[in-house]
Amino acid sequence: MSLHGKRKEIYKYEAPWTVYAMNWSVRPDKRFRLALGSFVEEYNNKVRSVVCRFTSFYPFVCRNTFDHPYPTTKIMWIPDTKGVYPDLLATSGDYLRIWRVSDTETRLECLLNNNKNSDFCAPLTSFDWNEVDPNLLGTSSIDTTCTIWGLETGQVLGRVNLVSGHVKTQLIAHDKEVYDIAFSRAGGGRDMFASVGADGSVRMFDLRHLEHSTIIYEDPQHHPLLRLCWNKQDPNYLATMAMDGMEVVILDVRVPCTPVARLNNHRACVNGIAWAPHSSCHICTAADDHQALIWDIQQMPRAIEDPILAYTAEGEINNVQWASTQPDWIAICYNNCLEILRV
């Protein structure tokens, strides 16, 4: 079944630069707002927030654009579904930065660097913002560490800068570079997280017992693992993918080291994974073959042969995000384009 068969529910935004990082806002009053980051191989990059208006000619309106040093490796809005926190946006690159966003301006609230003793900083590959406690963020770095940050978000008093952050804990997570980090919803959703890296392993940590970690999976060829993504409804399942790999591996933390499913219909390397926010058995994968595929993994551990939906973009898809507050919308980006698709 193809998305093209439905009535046109595809809205496209063309940026003046290649788009890489991208994500949905979750605030109830900003539902169809996304942030996207440029990928320009130099110091000067951009972050832009856009809102979809669902018109045919100019479906997106640009709210604001601000400068960002180096390309953003990831962008996330504060996971604040009730709209009670300040309207914050986090970006990772050379540092973790927290921005306060409004329709008229954006200002940097804090810049978090865990290497206080030197001008050198190891680039951050990714980060995750804890959904249960938005005062917690975790970053992953090429220096083999993960850092958990505590954020203080005070009330807005005039122009006083009241967002600050501190290192809660830093740990050597892998033997080589760490490429991704994600908090799990297990055990209350605050203390468990996992990471993947260049050593080809998925490791799980508990903030209450950091003296040891659990290796959930190791790539048989020791290929670096680039991404991991937790199932939004069932914290026993997560998905990961290897560098230059054409398949996505689904893991069950109760059965470590043995994948429960392999999704391998892509014809080029996979770049993105997004679980459905509202269903434990649907996942979207996106790849250099221009395809975004949605899979139903209900019959695991029987083999999953084919996706249930396929969408072909006009370029190599490098990112996919499933909107957590409006689950019938998926965003993809390729070349200089952002598209949102109704599924």
* Sign of the alpha-carbon dihedral angle for 258, 263, 267, 269: negative
CATH number at residue 244: 2.130.10.10
Cα diameter, the chain: 58
With 80 as the cut, is the pLDDT of residue 119 above it? no
Helix (H) or strand (E) holding 60: strand 60-69
Average pLDDT score over the chain: 90
Is there a domain that residue 335 lies in?
Answer: no
Confidence of residue 115 (pLDDT cuts 50, 70, 90): low
**162-219 per-position pLDDT tens digit:** 677 778 888 788 889 999 999 999 988 899 999 999 999 999 999 998 888 899 999 9
Residues 248-268: tens digit of each pLDDT: 999 999 998 899 999 999 999
Q: Which domain holds residue 173?
A: 10-260
Any residues with CB less than 8 A from the CB of 173 and at least 6 apart, and which?
140, 144, 145, 146, 181, 195, 197, 203, 205, 213
Q: Does a structural domain hold residue 250?
A: yes
Residue 318 covered by a domain = no
Residue 187 lies in a domain: yes
Q: How many CA atoms lie within 13 A of 311 on its CB side?
A: 28
Q: Which alpha helices (H) appear in 279-318, and where do they start and end?
A: none
Cβ neighbors of 306 (< 8 A, separation 6 or more) are 265
What gap in Å lies between CA 100 and CA 103, rounded to an integer?
Answer: 10
The structure tokens listed for 136 are: 């917690």
| Amino acid 118: pLDDT | 60
Torsion over CA: 159, 78, 311, 288 (sign): positive
Condensed to tens digits (0 to 9), the pLDDT of residues 204-235 reads: 999 998 888 899 999 999 999 999 999 999 99
Specify the pLDDT at position 158: 43
The residues facing 259 across adjacent strands are none
Let me know if residue 244 belongs to a domain: yes
Q: What is the pTM of this model?
A: 0.91
Q: Is the peptide bond before 307 cis (omega within 30 degrees of 0)?
A: no
CA distances to 1, 34, 317 from 89, rounded to whole Å, are: 36, 11, 23
Instruction: Let me know if residue 112 belongs to a domain.
Output: yes
Per the structure, how many domains does the chain have?
1
Task: With beta carbons less than 8 A apart as the criterion, state whether 11 and 54 touch.
Answer: yes
In a domain, 253, yes or no: yes
CA-closest candidate to residue 23, choices 50, 45, 46, 62: 50
Q: And the tokens for 100?
A: 């306060």
Q: Helical H runs in the chain?
A: none
Distance CA 111, CA 95 (A): 7
* Helix, coil or strand: residue 234: coil
* DSSP-based three-state secondary structure for 81: coil
Residue 35, pLDDT score: 96
How far apart CA 95 and CA 125 sit, in angstroms, is 10
